[in-house]
Amino acid sequence: MKIFVDINDPGNFSFAECLVFLGRSDKENLHFIRDGRLQKMMVADGRLVLATVTGVEGEKMGVDVRLVEKGVAGETQGISDKAIACISQYVTRWLHLDGALQPFYDFAAQQPLLAGLPERYKGLRLIGIPDLFETLCWTIIGQQINLTFAYTLRERLIRHFGCSVDLDGQTYHLFPRPEVIAALSPEVLTGMQFSGGKARYLIATAQEIVNGTFSMAALDRMDYHQAKERLLALKGIGNWSANYILMKYGRFPEALPLEDAGLHNAIKARLQLSAKPSAAELKAITGKWGQHAAYATFYLWRTLLPQ
């Protein structure tokens, strides 16, 4: 079955640019890029499906959907309208298909630090993480370590505690469910090279979701400031983590992970500084970003990847 998902501002959308960012790590095991297509296993309306984002067709994104039963994909009659809506919403949030880049591009043209980036990476959308628990875990895992080791730890978490399906010679993984992580002891994770703090934070976060004291539905009803305060109340979530989550999951345009080392390195390189900018310099540079902060950060991150 093929479904089509609307693309807002299609003139400023590039699937190829999105794939560059999505393909930045060879340790990625939740999605795969093959022959210019993006594949991901997901659960939609209680059914396991393989979604293949095939590319832009007119002003819509094409997505092939195959129902998976016992490691075999093919039948599509069991895919409900609710499942199709779930897949459409996921792809939209993942690739920010409902976004509009022209306001950011107009702003960037007036900023020496950002000027030229819209032309260089035209159509790149802010790649998100549509699942809140996955976003929380990835944020906790990535704290104060380099990206390569963060991907290694994430890969271990997924392989040990997530579900997997072998299909067409490829193993597809699903991110672990909160109830699985909530039931772990910290020693299980520290034995996999997670720090003691990260082990405790991951388990505590999972327990909050399982207990119903924190949820996607609740966060989605909040504005930026409310959501940030709620996130900061979670164990192990500081200012950088909260803004990263609000940027990648919440899609708040003003979210600014100011403490991010990658952002500092990108600014240093763009401005040809001899050292990373100070806290005062960072605030002066980013203070004018306002509603463009998330995209400014993301495009600066993109400069750190191969061209």
pLDDT of 99-142, one tens digit each? 999 999 999 999 999 999 999 999 999 999 999 999 999 999 99
Instruction: Give me the pLDDT at residue 76, please.
Output: 60
**Residue percentage of the chain with pLDDT more than 70:** 97
Across the range 240-263, mean pLDDT stands at: 96
What predicted TM-score, i.e. pTM, was given to this entire model? Answer: 0.94
Distance CA 287, CA 237 (A): 23
Instruction: Give me the pLDDT at residue 307, please.
Output: 77
Across the range 77-102, mean pLDDT stands at: 94
Burial zone of 198 (CB within 10 Å; 0-12 exposed, 13-18 middle, 19+ buried)? buried
Please list the residues that pair with 13 across neighbouring strands.
none
Would the pLDDT of 206 be above 60?
A: yes
Instruction: Give me the pLDDT at residue 168, please.
Output: 87
Instruction: Give me the pLDDT at residue 72, please.
Output: 52
Across the range 201-209, mean pLDDT stands at: 97
User: What CATH number does domain 132-248 carry, 1.20.950.20, 3.40.50.720, 3.40.710.10, 1.10.340.30?
Assistant: 1.10.340.30
> Residue 61 to residues 30, 38, 118, 133, 251: CA-CA distances in angstroms?
20, 11, 21, 26, 20
Rounded to the nearest integer, the mean pLDDT of the chain is 95
pLDDT, tens digit, 9 for 90 and up, residues 6-41: 999 999 999 999 999 999 999 999 999 999 999 999
Catalytic positions, written as ranges:
260
- The fourth-level CATH superfamily of domain 2-100 is DNA-3-methyladenine glycosylase AlkA, N-terminal domain (3.30.310.20)
Instruction: Give me the pLDDT at residue 77, please.
Output: 66
Boundaries of every domain in the chain:
2-100, 132-248
Would the pLDDT of 207 be above 80?
A: yes
**Which amino acid does the sequence have at 257?**
P
**Residue percentage of the chain with pLDDT more than 90:** 94
Across the range 77-86, mean pLDDT stands at: 89
Residues 6+ apart with CB under 8 A from 135: 129, 245, 248, 249
pLDDT-based confidence at residue 306 (cuts at 50, 70, 90): confident
Would the pLDDT of 225 be above 80?
A: yes
Residue scoring higher pLDDT (157 or 168): 157
Would the pLDDT of 271 be above 90?
A: yes
